[in-house]
Amino acid sequence: NAGVMQNPRHLVRRRGQEARLRCSPMKGHSHVYWYRQLPEEGLKFMVYLQKENIIDESGMPKERFSAEFPKEGPSILRIQQVVRGDSAAYFCASSRRQKEKLFFGSGTQLSVL
């Protein structure tokens, strides 16, 4: 049973470009969470999705950031017109049901030049 898969592992973008981060949850998991982590800091919640629905996006900036979890395929976190401050590790986690323990992917390290 494969774990949570995130790709790419590392992503380098220039300012103004778009970043697309992908997350495939564990088999049987329909709840996906995206987190952002800066060095030496804890996780900051961004968005919580179930299949085809955004449940809570209170941690996600209103501009430039969007997330989706389509019926088929991985969840996508999309950052448009990236700025240097977007550089961080972005982690995806999934769970079978709401409020169950989370299984994390290995993260995508986004570097904005």
Partner 1 sequence: SQQGEEDPQALSIQEGENATMNCSYKTSINNLQWYRQNSGRGLVHLILIRSNEREKHSGRLRVTLDTSKKSSSLLITASRAADTASYFCATEGDSNYQLIWGAGTKLIIKP
Residue ranges in contact with partner 1 by CB under 8 A: 4, 6, 33, 40-45, 48, 55-56, 58-59, 91, 93, 98-99, 101-107, 109
The CB-of-57 to partner 1 minimum distance in angstroms stands at 10
Nearer to partner 1 (CB atom), residue 14 or residue 58 = 58
Are β-strands 5-7 and 19-24 bridged in parallel, bridged antiparallel, or unpaired?
antiparallel
The closest alpha carbon to 80, from 22, 11, 17, belongs to 17
Nearer to partner 1 (CB atom), residue 17 or residue 26 = 26
Q: What's the sign of the alpha-carbon dihedral 102, 108, 109, 111?
A: negative
DSSP-derived 3-state class of residue 56: strand
Nearer to partner 1 (CB atom), residue 74 or residue 107 = 107
The CB-of-77 to partner 1 minimum distance in angstroms stands at 15
Q: Which tokens sit at 73?
A: 């395929």
